[in-house]
Chain A
Amino acid sequence: GAGVSQSPSNKVTEKGKDVELRCDPISGHTALYWYRQSLGQGLEFLIYFQGNSAPDKSGLPSDRFSAERTGGSVSTLTIQRTQQEDSAVYLCASSQLGTGELFFGEGSRLTVL
C-alpha cells in the first residue's frame, strides 16, 4: 500500500497474555519507529530502527517489550505478560533517511483487561 499499515487496529487481551503488533512501513523507507500514546497524552518513544544499524531500544519501558524488523521492512512489537498499564495506542512510523518527515500508521489500540 501507499502508507504505513498497522495491524491489528484494535486488540483486547487479558492481563498476563502476550501480544504482537505488526507494522508494514512505506516501501523504501529505511527508518522505522514505534511510539506509544496513552489517552490524551503525547507520544512516548519506544524503539527506532535505521537501516542495518543496531536498533535504538532506549525507550522500551521494560524487558517485557521487544521488537524486531525482518528484512529491513516489516516490524513486530511484542509485549509479553501484558499489564493494564500497557493499555495505549501503539503508533508506528517510517521515514526516508535524511528527510526528517515521519509517516505514521493509524495505530493499534491495545486494551488489557
Chain B
Amino acid sequence: SQQGEEDPQALSIQEGENATMNCSYKTSINNLQWYRQNSGRGLVHLILIRSNEREKHSGRLRVTLDTSKKSSSLLITASRAADTASYFCATEVGGNTPLVFGKGTRLSVIA
C-alpha cells in the first residue's frame, strides 16, 4: 500500500522560480527521504531527514518534516531546466523494513 502521497502530481514552473512539493504519510516513521528520477532512469537519493529533525538543507534543496501533521515538503530554490524530473518521497517505518515510495511529483522547469 502507498505510505506517502506527493502533492501536486505535476508542477510546471519557469526557470529561476522556486518549486515546492509536498508529501503526506500515514504512520510513524524513522526517516523520510526524497529521490529524483530523470525520465527512463533509476532513482537518485537527494536527502534524508530523520524523525527527530525538522529541517535540512543540501545546496538548493530544503526539506522540512512535520511529524505532528505527518507531512514533509521539498523546496528547490532558483530552479533550472536540469531540475526537470520526477521527485518521490519515501518513508522508512522501522529499522529493518523496506522504504515505501509515493507516486511522485513530475516537475517541469521551462527555460
**A interface residue numbers (CB < 8 A to B):** 4, 33, 35, 41-43, 45, 48, 50, 53, 56, 59, 91, 93, 100-107
* Complex Cα–Cα for A33 and B98 (A): 8
Q: Are B42 and A106 in contact (CB under 8 A)?
A: yes
Question: How many interface residues does chain B have, given as a range?
Answer: 20 to 34
Binds A, one of B14-22, B60-68, B99-107: B99-107
Q: Are B33 and A100 in contact (CB under 8 A)?
A: yes
When the two chains form the complex, which single residue of B41, B45, B88 contacts A43, counting CB atoms closer than 8 Å? Answer: B88
List, in ascending order, chain A residues with CB within 8 A of B2's CB.
Answer: 42
Q: Are A41 and B103 in contact (CB under 8 A)?
A: yes
A30: min CB distance to chain B, Å: 11
List, in ascending order, chain B residues with CB within 8 A of A106's CB.
Answer: 41-42
Q: Are B92 and A104 in contact (CB under 8 A)?
A: no
When the two chains form the complex, which single residue of A48, A53, A91 contacts B42, counting CB atoms closer than 8 Å? Answer: A91
